[in-house]
Chains A and B, each alone.
Chain A
Amino acid sequence: AQKVTQAQTEISVVEKEDVTLDCVYETRDTTYYLFWYKQPPSGELVFLIRRNSFDEQNEISGRYSWNFQKSTSSFNFTITASQVVDSAVYFCASTIGGATNKLIFGTGTLLAVQP
């Protein structure tokens, strides 16, 4: 089965702590794309990053970084020096069946950053 698993349902940290959100995917496809989205309390879904299956380079954007490892089928997301504004539900997603116009989502990880 093709699916995305986010085993952590909720994480609570104190401001300035680093936190890693885990994402494990299963796919039969040789070419696929992985995404992270953020859903803050206001409810909208915000695109954060896209990574294709041929590019295993890690990426850093400010306090955010992503670690893609095909050997473990993981695409983990780390927030460094977390802030209260990072509090949100974070979704990992994958394209499925080579049809890149369709995403399947993990169940999300609720991150609560306490001041």
Chain B
Amino acid sequence: DTAVSQTPKYLVTQMGNDKSIKCEQNLGHDTMYWYKQDSKKFLKIMFSYNNKELIINETVPNRFSPKSPDKAHLNLHINSLELGDSAVYFCASSQDPVIYGYTFGSGTRLTVV
């Protein structure tokens, strides 16, 4: 009964590969997010979807493509992986961040070798 679940938890892959990270929330929230945490622990928003519609798209290489088949799912696909993509990627959801903040998933540690 995990609220926001991400898979896989760990992902090790070679440069140039394409990979996907999946995220699902069972909280009934309308808005979902992807954040990237780099090696220095810095957290930066990448994308946000509200009810399947893209509402935030930060300056992210177009090798990163989010997909939201329904409001409970927000997947992240990454093409042509580079060494600099190595990071922890967090999915989050919120119904009202003002009142409840975000609920984060446990993160996916991506290592590109």
Contacts and interface: CB of A to CB of B under 8 A. Distances in A.
Question: From DSSP, what is the main secondary structure of chain B's interface residues?
Answer: strand
Contacts, number: 62
Given A44-B106, A44-B107, A50 B43 contact: no
A89 interface: yes
Given A101-B31, A101-B94, A50 B99 contact: yes
Question: From DSSP, what is the main secondary structure of chain A's interface residues?
Answer: strand
B48 A43 contact: no
22 contacts: A35-B101, A43-B109, A44-B105, A44-B107, A45-B90, A45-B92, A45-B104, A47-B100, A47-B104, A50-B98, A50-B99, A50-B100, A95-B98, A99-B56, A101-B31, A101-B56, A103-B97, A103-B102, A105-B42, A105-B44, A108-B42, A110-B41
